[in-house]
């Protein structure tokens, strides 16, 4: 196998790790994006400061997106493998599921797994598995509908 395919992802992953470490060591928080997104959208019991930190992080995500758009436009796709109705269903399930399960690829997959938290390991194995099953079913059942 050509190992060079792992270089970009690994560099990206190290940056994701540095960003998450900054949140943890600087602010004593988990860089869990689904939780931060939900906290900004629907503050449930957090203080004003909590909400401002969530909003600052989200603003940073968008600023990073703008930097990529300018410096590395190839980071974004020009076409999508799925139809708009499928994207709508997908987004809803991601939003609902990450709240019910208390986290996503960042909070469970990176922050939780790296401290060997049993909940995060179970969640990560589960969502990767159902993601794989879903992709396989969509492919077998005929596509991008």
Partner 1 sequence: MKFAVAFVSGLVFALGLGIGGMLLPQKVLGFLDVLGAWDPALVGVMGGGIAVMAVAWRVFARLPRPLCESRVCVPDRNRPVDARLVLGAVIFGVGWGLGGYCPGPSIVSLVTLAPPVLVHAASMAVGVVAYHLVWRVAEAAKAASSDAAVADG
Q: What whole-number distance in Å separates Cα of residue 126 and Cα of residue 108? A: 11
Please give the helix or strand (H or E) that residue 15 lies within, else none: helix 7-22
Length reported for the chain:
145
Find the binding residues for partner 1 in span 43-82 (CB under 8 A).
44, 49-50, 52-54, 56-69, 72, 75-77, 80-82
| Minimum distance from residue 142 beta carbon to partner 1 (Å) | 14
Of 25, 45, 141, 142, the residue at the interface with partner 1 (CB under 8 A) is 25
| Minimum distance from residue 82 beta carbon to partner 1 (Å) | 6
| Minimum distance from residue 137 beta carbon to partner 1 (Å) | 8
Q: Which residue, 116 or 142, has its beta carbon nearer to partner 1?
A: 116
Asked if 95 touches partner 1 (CB under 8 A), the answer is: yes
Please give the helix or strand (H or E) that residue 130 lies within, else none: helix 118-140
# residues near partner 1 by CB under 8 A:
108
Pick from 78, 81, 80, 77: nearest CA to 143: 81
Given a contact cutoff of 8 angstroms between Cβ atoms, the answer to whether 48 and 59 are in contact is no
Given a contact cutoff of 8 angstroms between Cβ atoms, the answer to whether 68 and 61 are in contact is no
| Minimum distance from residue 4 beta carbon to partner 1 (Å) | 10
Q: Which residue, 80 or 142, has its beta carbon nearer to partner 1?
A: 80
Q: What whole-number distance in Å separates Cα of residue 20 and Cα of residue 111? A: 7
Q: Which two tokens stand for residue 105?
A: 């690829």
Find the binding residues for partner 1 in span 100-129 (CB under 8 A).
100-102, 104-106, 108-111, 113-119, 122-124, 126-129
């Amino acid at each position: 196998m050509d190992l060079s395919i792992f270089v970009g992802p690994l560099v990206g992953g190290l940056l994701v790790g540095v960003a998450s470490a900054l949140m943890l060591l600087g602010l004593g928080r988990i860089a869990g994006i689904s939780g931060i997104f939900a906290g900004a959208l629907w503050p449930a019991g957090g203080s004003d400061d909590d909400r401002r930190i969530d909003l600052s992080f989200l603003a940073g995500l968008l600023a990073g997106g703008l930097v990529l758009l300018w410096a590395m436009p190839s980071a974004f796709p020009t076409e999508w493998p799925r139809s708009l109705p499928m994207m709508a269903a997908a987004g809803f399930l991601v939003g609902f599921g990450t709240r019910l399960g208390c986290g996503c690829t960042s909070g469970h997959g990176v922050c939780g797994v790296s401290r060997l938290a049993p909940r995060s390991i179970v969640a990560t194995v589960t969502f990767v598995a159902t993601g794989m099953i879903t992709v396989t079913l969509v492919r077998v059942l005929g596509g991008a509908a």
